[in-house]
Amino acid sequence: MKKLIGLVGTNSDKSTNRQLLQYMSQHFDHLAEIELVEIKDFPLFDKPDTKELPAIVKEVAAKIEAADGVIISTPEYDHTITAALSNALAWLSYGIYPFVDKAVMITGASYGKLGSSRAQQHLRQILDSPELKARIMPSSEFLLGYSLQAFDENNQLVDAEKVEQLDRIFDDFLFFISITSQLMTAHAANIKEAENFSWDKK
């Protein structure tokens, strides 16, 4: 059984993106173990003089490294991801590289119709950056619009078509994990490239 991390892409105490990951953890418990991981305790990113990482950052990085894959569920604020998620990814690529060659699935829920489509597009660009170098599953958007009405009192998705869509995308993600796990010949080189990359170098 695959072990996955469900990264909650917000520091909000009440979030339908957290609900979505909770639903997925229960709904797919026969296929994978999904551990929800919060980012709300990450401090504001500022390059530490000693390069010593906060304990919470090292803890989350270790969980990502040990996992077979990561699911990130992101809201959309001002057509992009949350400041909290951007902050967490900055920490998780500062001298550590848990996302390099890691299989990632992106989901998103929003109160409106679009379901975080622009934020998901932006997140793909960030995860593809030289410091992160994740393997993002292509052509796999799961967009949950009108998310305040999407769950019943038992935290089940009420739209059968959305359930079927998520089932198919998740099956694809498990297959994507199997494929990417075999594409590791260049992993050491990719880690070294991420380590050596700096925007300050000329």
* 123: Cα within 13 Å, side-chain hemisphere: 35
| Residue 199: per-residue pLDDT | 60
Residue with tokens 């990359």: 197
| Residue 200: per-residue pLDDT | 59
Nearest residue to 164 via CA among 7, 27, 18: 27
| Residue 192: per-residue pLDDT | 85
| Residue 201: per-residue pLDDT | 57
The rounded average pLDDT for each run of 10 residues, N- to C-terminus, in the chain (202 residues) is: 97 95 98 98 88 94 98 93 97 95 96 86 95 92 92 96 97 96 84 77 54
The secondary element (H helix, E strand) that includes residue 109 is strand 103-109
Contact, 93 vs 57, CB < 8 A? no
| Residue 114: per-residue pLDDT | 75
Packing angle, helices 83-91 and 117-127, rounded to 10: 10
Query: Could you tell me the domains of the chain?
Result: 2-196 (3.40.50.360)
5 φ/ψ sector (left φ>0, alpha ψ -120 to 50, else beta): beta
